[in-house]
Every structure is written in structure tokens, then in C-alpha cells.
Amino acid sequence: MKNIDKYRGCLIGGAAGDALGYAVEFLDDAAIFSKYGENGITEYSLVNGVAEISDDTQMTLFTANALLLGTTRGMTRGIMGSYPSYISLCYKEWLRTQYEQFPLNEEYSYTWLINVPELFARRAPGNTCISAIENGANGTLEEPINRSKGCGGIIACCTNRFIFCRDKRYSVSEIDKIG
């Protein structure tokens, strides 16, 4: 199996699990068992025939798109910025999907995902995540932009690990910094 197949499988598997869990994300055990029975949620809870994804899957897709954008620019033009710069650009476009209506009528965008109407759905993103993107999201491990202990940052780190796991040019620490 090629790495791209593994990467695709991880993205699809993560999205499928996210869609299953999104319906119960903010419920406690008692509420889940009350609504879905003693086994809890065992199948998708459809809304208008669709299993909805959370902001985590949305951001995972925008992260993947950012990494592809940077890599493609480097391969086709011979120059590229840092991966975090592409992630920042794409996260700013994701943020627009949380506040604005489809279509955006832009001549140019950094991510093709901005043309997917289903992604224009606010899925309870965390306040820390929103404020970090609004403020430029240019923190580092040495100089963080906030002291949040939330899990939002893991989205980018996981996506980066899948892409760069066999790339010997980057250490684990460098890969995490990209996230």
C-alpha cells in the first residue's frame, strides 16, 4: 500500500469517526444512553440524510490542503514559503466558512475547499482556535500566542505526521512545529 493510500485512509477514517461522534460530542454518558440505548451511538445520526462532520474534520481538510499547496508550489515553481505560512492562509479561509455564506465570489483563493458549499457550516469551533486564527496564528512553542490547554492544535500535528512521517529532512520536533 502506498503512503498516499494510507494518508487517504486516515483522513477518511477520521472523518467517518468524527461524523459518528459529532452527534454526541457535547452529551454526557447518561444523555447518550438515554437517546441511543444501552450500546450508545452505533450508527450515524443523520440530519437531512447527511452525517455531519465537526470543525475538527473541516480543519483537518484545510490543513491537508495547505500542505499540498506548499508542496505543489515548491515542486512547480521551485520556491515556496514555510508550511506554517500556508497553514495560516488556509485556516483564514476556513474561518470564512464559519462566518460567511457560500459562494464567496472571490477571483482567487488558496484552497479549493472554499468552493465546497457543505463546508460553510459552523460546527462549534473553540474560541481559542477562532481567536488564534483571527490574530494571525503565528505563535511558536517558545512564544505561544495563548496558554490554552485545548486540543485544537492536535489537528494540524496529526495531519503533518501523516505527510512527513517518512521524510528524513524533518525531525519529529520540526514536524510538530509545522503544526
pLDDT band per the 50, 70, 90 thresholds, residue 115: very high
pLDDT of residue 38: 97
pTM of the model: 0.86
Amino acid at 53: I
pLDDT of residue 164: 66
pLDDT of residue 96: 95
- C-alpha pair distances (Å), 51 with each of 21, 33, 124, 128, 156: 10, 19, 16, 26, 23
Q: Which residues contact 115 (CB under 8 A, 6 or more apart)?
A: 103, 109
